[in-house]
Structure formats: structure tokens, C-alpha cells
Chain A
Amino acid sequence: MNPEFAYLKKIGNEPNNLIKGLQLIQSTEGYVSDDGIRAAAEYFSLPEVEIEGVLSFYAQFKRVKPGKNHICVCDGTACHIKGSSQVHTWIEQELGLKPGETSDDGVFSLETVACLGCCSLAPVMSINGKVYGKLDRKKLAKILKDYAEK
């Protein structure tokens, strides 16, 4: 197996650990590359197509490398009602990004998710897992600026 993915050995190689294994690859690499698929296929003794099948089924898995700062804009019901589409518009205007895209300099990437569980603070987004609520245009611009400068 590709030694780059030797950390897979931390978990058992029974096929019912496949999703766990892919999650481990993603949390380490940031996404699941073709090499990652090959390594998982070998480790779990499953055909590569089956790994692809599982990856494509679950929204969480990414096949392209995300930016340094990964933005998740919530489009759950509460956030939608409270104007999450505006948040998308604002981000597009600030960063020129649409959901699923990574900026050319690799600093930001954008994704839409369904509910971060902070509905009472809608509209909500998270950057690298940290949640920001009650967004308005000004607040958003400031948060993005802070990350861009980091």
C-alpha cells in the first residue's frame, strides 16, 4: 500500500469500517484523491468502483482539494427563511466564489450545507468548523477580511 496512507492501519480493515477510513483520509488530506481511493481499495480489499460509489453517495466527501479556509454556508430551513441566498450573493460579491469552487490562490473554498444545528442564530456559516451566526453583510465582510489576512 502507498506508504503515504499508512495511517489507515489505525482502524480495522473490515469493510464496515470503510466510511470511517475514508473520513480519516479526508480529515488528514482535506479531500479524497485518486491515490486515496486506491489505498482504501487495497486496505479494505474492495474494488475501486465500490469506493467511488460510497464516496459519491455521501455529500461530506470531497474529491477536489479545498481551500485553506473552507466556508460552509448553511442552507437549512431556518437559514433559508432568514436569507441564506443573500449570504451566497454577498460571498460571491466579496470573493467571486460559487458553491463547490475554490479560489485561484487557494485561500477560500465554498460549500453549501444543510443545517449546522445553530438554527436560532440564522443565517449561519462556518469557516474551518468555527460557526458564525446572525450574519449580515457588514459582519460577513469583516469575518472574510480577518481570514484573508491570517
Chain B
Amino acid sequence: MSIKFLRVGVASCGIASGADGVMNLLKEKAGNTPVIGVGCIGHCYAEPIVEAVLDDGSSIFYRDVKPVDADIDNILACGEENRFEIPEARRKKEKVMVLALAGKVDPTNFDDYIANGGYEGLKRALSLTPEEVVNEMKLSGLRGRGGGGFPTGMKWSFLAAKQAEEKILICNADEGDPGAFMDRSLMESVPHQVLEGMLIAAYATGATKLFIYCRAEYPMAIKHLKIAIEQIYENKLNVINGRALEINIKEGAGAFVCGEETSLIASLEGKRGTPRFRPPFPTDSGYLGHPTMINNVETYGNVPVILRNGGAEYAKIGTEGSKGTKLFALAGDLKNPGLIEVPMGTTLAEIVFEIGGADPAEVKAVQTGGPSGGCIPVELFNTPVDYDSLKALGAIMGSGGMIVIGKNRCMVETARYFLDFTHRESCGKCTFCRIGTTRMFETLERIVAGKGKPEDITLLEELGKKIKAGSLCGLGQTAPNPVLATLRYYRHEYEAHVNDHVCEALQCNALVKLKLDQSKCVKCRMCIKNCPVDAISDDFVIDADKCTRCNSCMDVCPKKAISRVSE
């Protein structure tokens, strides 16, 4: 059996693991066998990944490939080293529709996308009337993947109903949740799919100008989109109803609140990205006063799938109120972090344990929805993932960031982390959001520093409720969620911090000291050598006043004689 061609995953996560070196060496050594750079196949923990596609169409995957002769020769000989079997659990639980071409096609190659059914959704859409396309979307039951969960078909019908010379369509690619990378992967891996979704939306709604607002931290996504747009122009796919539509990319400049739609529009107009009161809704008056519709990257990514197979077919997948599949960016304390796609209704246990390979004995909770969301304790992992079930638990679906939190993490510190983020990202327009989140953050800082008072807990709860009620946009309305959710499920951790000055998870440095167990110590002096502040004496005693709890000594101790203990 010989190799027909080779695929190398060269999305951002692959490159960060050294896939570009692997690709170059493969090209050098593979002779006439084509080597294709593809996007993300989702198994980020195993990057760099190489797929050897054989003559009979079957594939052999290789993981953790290094840019060295031995590894490359092994692949070219279809050798046994470094082979990678896609875990069985993942194959069973996943349903790959939106990501079907991610990691399969060359994102910069137009023909590759066409050969795999690309632009067939657009073709079918153009064979229907715009109203029929909107109806297909309504039939599909698709809800916005940007976090809000607003029914997409309905939003489209609002814009379609508007009579105006200029109508604007925006793709929200700001992906502000720190810990989420679904949109990045989709844009890097199959940029045409997102653009195809936008073109279908433009036809259905009569939009005349298209924008993609992408965060500047995603240079590869921007590059691939730009190439794809050129190819669309060349093939005149942007000519809809006889009018050539412009597709513009605008780079964000690093502000979380700009993911909120009215802020995003202000930012597109070149201004400070502060939100404004709605109504008027963007579909009535948005970018420069024109009717404007905003959808998320993944929402657009679903559109070609829906149009290709029909809305009714799509609606068969998922739960009553949440149709289709959802992408999740799995990260944190688990074995197999990466990008996954599961049908709505899959349980958290299936995602975290079976797909993610996390150890049930080690997991404390999962955080969804990032700084706007909440945590769900492991005891409730039989919850199906859909918009309504997660909301009932005080978390949200969010855009798809899913962070697994291990038993050794402190929930108060996790809440502090999110408030640190939101109080800095608050645009400052609403007093409750601006000052309230800062006060919450300061209170949490006090608690993790061991200086909290029992009344701080009630203060947090009160502030949380008021900030939610007194903020104009979703940022403030959801900012207290991480605190309120941890208070709901992990109140005892807060109480232990303020009453007993104990951090159960042994994470908060102010409540922890490092202890050296003399009975295990072999006096190798590694700890003394590695301590950056000379806190360890020649007779191996750690000076708690000097020690910064940086764990350097723990990391180097060959006998694991040093551990963190309560003060």
C-alpha cells in the first residue's frame, strides 16, 4: 500500500506545536507525494498531527510528530511509531457536520472546497426565493451560536422585511470569551464555509454590504478569510441578484465589550466601542444608520449545512428547544483538550469524561460561557447540554468555551479571575457595571488574600444582583454570574476562606505554605539551588516569610518531599 497524499494540521494550534517544521521536512522528503496543509482536526492535544492517506482511501494518523528525520521517515514508510488512533469514545459521541471539512481541505484552496460540496448550499439557496430561504432557516430551528441563542431564522426575517437602499450584514468574529477557540478554528480551517453562510444570508435578507469583525489576535484566520474573499470575487460568487457585494474584513482592537452587537457597530464606525440602548435594534438602525444584522461565525458555519440538506433534516438533530450540533472548545484539567462537535443534548459527563478523557475522580466542575457564564459541579454532569438546561443551572451555553476545573483549583480564585477580567473590560458607561464589578473584584481579592470577612459574602450577593439589574448591556448583566454560580454551589469554600482562613484546594498562596518533609528528603540540594529567593536554609527548612510560594522547589524535587499545606 502506498501513500496517495499527506495532510499536516497547520492551524494555529498545530503551528504552536511545531507543525510548520514538520510540514517543511515532509515536503523535502516526500518526493512526488503531495503534502497538503490543512486546518484543525480537533485533537489539539496530539499536535502536530500528520495524516497519511493511502491509495485505498484509508488513513493512518500520526501524533506528536517532531521535525526530525526519524519521525518523518517513519511516516513515509507507514511505520508503527507515533501512530494515533482517534479515540473510540469520540467517534461514537461526536457528530461532525459543521466541522466536516476542518482538517480535510486546504483552507487556501478554492477547488478543494468545491470538490467537497462547497457552495452547493448557496446554489440551492439561489434556486429558492429569499422568503423560502428564510423559511428553511426557521424550519431548522437554528439558534444563534454567539451566546444569546436568538432564533436565527427570525432575525433574518427582520432584516428581509426592511426596505432600504443599503443593508448591512456582519459576521461577529470577535470571540471574546478568553478560553474559547471554536470560531478561530472554523475560520482558519474552512473560511469558505463561513463566507458561504454569509452569502446565503445576504441573498435571503437582501443585504448589500458584508463585514467580518475579527479579533486581531487571529492573524491566520484573517489571512485565510482574505484569500477566500479574493477567490469569491474571482469566481463572481459575490454577485447576487445582479449586484456585486463587497466583503470587508475589519480587525478588532482588543476589547471584550465589542463582541456585544451595538458596541461592535460603534467600533466598526471607528469609535470607542461602547454599547447603546436598544431599541432601536440594529435591524432597524445599525452601522451608519443602515439596517444591520449580526450573526456569529459558527451560526454562519451552520447555514450551508442547513441549505444543503434542508431545514427539516437539520431539525431532526438535537433537543426540543435546541437544534443541531454545537462546537465546544474543551480545555483545562483534562487529558484530551481540543475542538469537538456534539449534537445538542449530549450530557456534560459524555463530553468531559468520555470525549475529553478527564478523570472523574479529579474533576470538580466545568465552566461554560466564560466570564458571562457559570460553573456546573460534577454532581450535575448528567445535565444535557442545551440552551435551557444550562440556564436553569445558573450557567449559560455561551459561545462554546468549556473549561474543566480540577479538584485542586479554588473556586473563589476562579471567580476572582473572571471578575478581574470583567471589571477591566467594563466600558465604563454604566455606574453599576463600572464600579460594582470593581468592588466585587476587590472583595474577592481580599478573600483570596485571607483578609475576607464573613459579611463579604452577603456583600458579593447583593452587589451581584444590583449589577445585573443596573447594567445596559450583556457584559454587566452577566458579569456577576461566575461569582453567583460559585456561591450557589461552593459556598463552603467561600466560608472556609473568610471564617477559618483555609483554602481547601490549597491554591490561594496567602493561605498556604510550603512544607518540606525531612523523612523523604535525600539532601540533593536541588530545591536550594532552584529557589529564586533563597528561602531554603542549608538544613532544609523553608522560611515562610521569604517564600513566595512559586513552587519551583516542588517542581524540581526528585522525591516529592515538598508539598503545599494550610497555614
Contacts and interface: CB of A to CB of B under 8 A. Distances in A.
Interface string A49-92: 00001100111110000000000000111111110001001000
B255 A77 contact: no
Contact of B254 (A15, A60, A86): A60
A2 interface: no
A22 B250 CA distance: 13
A114 B273 contact: no
Contact of B45 (A81, A120, A124): A120
A53 B332 contact: no
Chain A interface category by residue count? 35 or more
Contact of A115 (B179, B185, B555): B179
A118 to B, nearest CB: 5
B216 interface: yes
A115 B174 CA distance: 12
A144 interface: no
B550 A120 contact: no
Contact of B178 (A16, A20, A82, A114): A114
Interface in B147-161: none
Contacts of A60: 216, 252-254
A18 B270 CA distance: 5
Contacts of A28: none
B47 to A, nearest CB: 8
A132 interface: yes
Interface-central residue, A18, A86, A133, by most chain B CB under 10 Å:
A133
A66 to B, nearest CB: 14
B179 A77 contact: yes
Interface string B44-71: 1101000000000000000000000000
Given A57-B272, A133-B16, A119 B179 contact: yes
Interface string B366-390: 0100100000000000000000000
A17 interface: yes
Contact of B13 (A54, A82, A118): A118
A100 interface: no
A54 B270 contact: yes
A81 B255 contact: no
Given A19-B270, A77-B370, A137 B250 contact: no
A56 to B, nearest CB: 9
A118 B427 CA distance: 26
Contact of A61 (B45, B47, B253): B253
Nearest to A115: B178
B17 A119 contact: no
Contacts of B532: 93
A120 B180 CA distance: 10
A85 B333 CA distance: 16
B403 interface: yes
A103 interface: no
Interface string A107-150: 00000011111111110100001011110110000000000000
Interface residues of B, number: 62
Contacts of A33: none
B341 to A, nearest CB: 15
Interface string B252-268: 11111000000000011
Given A58-B253, A58-B254, A78-B332, A19 B179 contact: no
A23 B548 contact: no
Interface-central residue, A15, A54, A118, A132, by most chain B CB under 10 Å:
A118
B218 interface: yes
Nearest to B428: A57
Interface string B336-358: 01110000000000000000000
A25 B552 CA distance: 41
B175 interface: yes
A104 to B, nearest CB: 20
A119 B180 contact: yes
A23 B403 CA distance: 32
Contacts of B550: 86, 89
A117 B255 contact: no
Nearest to B556: A137
B417 A80 contact: yes
B403 A114 contact: no
Contacts of B551: 86
A80 B176 CA distance: 16
A32 B162 CA distance: 41
Interface-central residue, A79, A82, A114, by most chain B CB under 10 Å:
A114
B45 A78 contact: no
A78 B548 contact: no
A137 B555 CA distance: 9
Interface in B395-447: 401, 403, 405-406, 409, 414, 417-418, 421, 427
A89 to B, nearest CB: 5
Given A80-B417, A119-B329, A59 B253 contact: yes
A118 B16 contact: yes
Interface of B: 12-13, 15-17, 44-45, 47, 175-181, 184-185, 216-219, 250-256, 267-273, 288, 329-333, 337-339, 367, 370, 401, 403, 405-406, 409, 414, 417-418, 421, 427, 532, 548, 550-552, 555
16 contacts: A44-B270, A58-B254, A81-B332, A81-B409, A86-B550, A93-B532, A114-B421, A118-B13, A119-B331, A119-B403, A120-B13, A120-B44, A120-B181, A121-B13, A124-B16, A133-B16
Report, nearest first, the 3 A-B pairs whose CB atoms are least far apart. A77-B179, A120-B44, A76-B178
